[in-house]
């Protein structure tokens, strides 16, 4: 696993870097007035790689540089809401490993699993909360080791998708942008069931 950090512990206004001492790769910034529009940009070039818009009435939207002709699309077409056989809400996302599954429970507040991991035993992405940072652990199978230079946003499409998905889904779990109470445990399941249903 490769470890990254959102610093500070925010999924709307933060710097995303290899942990513990890597140079910043991407920045996340959200407009102050509405707190609903998040821009993800290359920290070195300033180029915008993704843009998320959360709406109260209309469907939430996302757009990625160099994809879909740079046009907005509904978040629900990118992060597809579904359920496990036992009716637990999950979110599907296409990756280079296939249609992977975002799932949240007391063991993994938010984690991404392979399509064939039917027991959800070994996440390929999951988050850890620290006091000052939100840590993101990613299986290096999602991108080649020689891509760790992070100089080409097109090569890093899976990483950009993961950053954007964590920003969106963790934002829903938090109901805003406050670091979560780590001791919530099982009491959080009702919140998770509501939050994982994307618009």
pLDDT at residue 28 greater than cutoff 70 = yes
| Structure confidence at residue 60 (pLDDT) | 96
Residue 106 banded pLDDT, cuts 50, 70, 90: confident
196 compared with 41, residue with greater pLDDT: 41
Residues 126-165: tens digit of each pLDDT: 998 766 789 999 987 776 544 444 445 555 557 899 999 9
Taking the C-alpha atoms of 168, 8, 112 and 108 in order, what is their torsion angle to the nearest 10 degrees?
-110
Residues pairing with 38 in the sheet: 30, 52
Token pair belonging to 120: 């959800």
Domain assignment of residue 96, given as a range: 2-195
pLDDT at residue 189 greater than cutoff 50 = no
**6 with 40: CB under 8 angstroms?**
no
Residues pairing with 80 in the sheet: 92
Q: How far is CA 167 from CA 69, 80, 117, in A?
A: 23, 16, 24
Q: Which residues contact 158 (CB under 8 A, 6 or more apart)?
A: 95, 96, 142, 143
Token pair belonging to 181: 């109470």
Residue 199 banded pLDDT, cuts 50, 70, 90: low
Q: Return the CATH number at 154.
A: 2.40.160
116 compared with 131, residue with greater pLDDT: 116
122-146 as b/e, with b when 16 or more CB fall inside 10 Å?
ebbbbbeeeeebbbbbbbeebbeee
Residue 32 banded pLDDT, cuts 50, 70, 90: confident
> Across the chain, how many H-helices and E-strands are there?
3, 13
Average pLDDT, the chain: 82
Q: Which residue has the tokens 């991407």?
A: 26
Q: Which helix (H) or strand (E) holds 124?
A: none
pLDDT at residue 54 greater than cutoff 50 = yes
Residue 74: half-sphere exposure toward Cβ, Cα within 13 Å: 9
Q: How many domains does the chain have?
A: 1
DSSP conformational letter for 181: -
pTM of this structure? 0.83
């Amino acid at each position: 696993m490769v470890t990254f950090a959102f610093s500070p512990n925010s999924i709307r206004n933060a710097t995303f870097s290899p942990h513990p001492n890597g140079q910043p790769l991407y920045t996340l910034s959200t407009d102050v007035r509405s707190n609903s529009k998040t821009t993800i940009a290359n920290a070195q070039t300033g180029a915008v790689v993704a843009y998320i818009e959360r709406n109260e009435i209309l469907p939430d939207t996302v757009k990625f540089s160099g994809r879909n002709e740079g046009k907005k699309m509904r978040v629900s077409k990118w992060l597809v809401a579904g359920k496990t056989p036992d009716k637990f809400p999950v979110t599907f996302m296409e990756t280079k490993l296939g249609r992977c599954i975002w799932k949240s429970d007391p063991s993994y507040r938010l984690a991404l699993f392979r399509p064939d991991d039917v027991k959800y035993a070994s996440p390929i992405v999951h988050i850890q909360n620290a006091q000052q940072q939100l840590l993101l652990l990613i299986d290096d199978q999602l991108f080649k080791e020689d891509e760790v230079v992070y100089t080409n946003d097109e090569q890093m499409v899976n990483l950009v998708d993961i950053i954007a998905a964590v920003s969106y889904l963790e934002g829903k779990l938090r109901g805003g942008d406050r670091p979560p109470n780590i001791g919530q445990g099982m009491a959080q399941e009702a919140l998770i069931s509501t939050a994982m249903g994307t618009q």
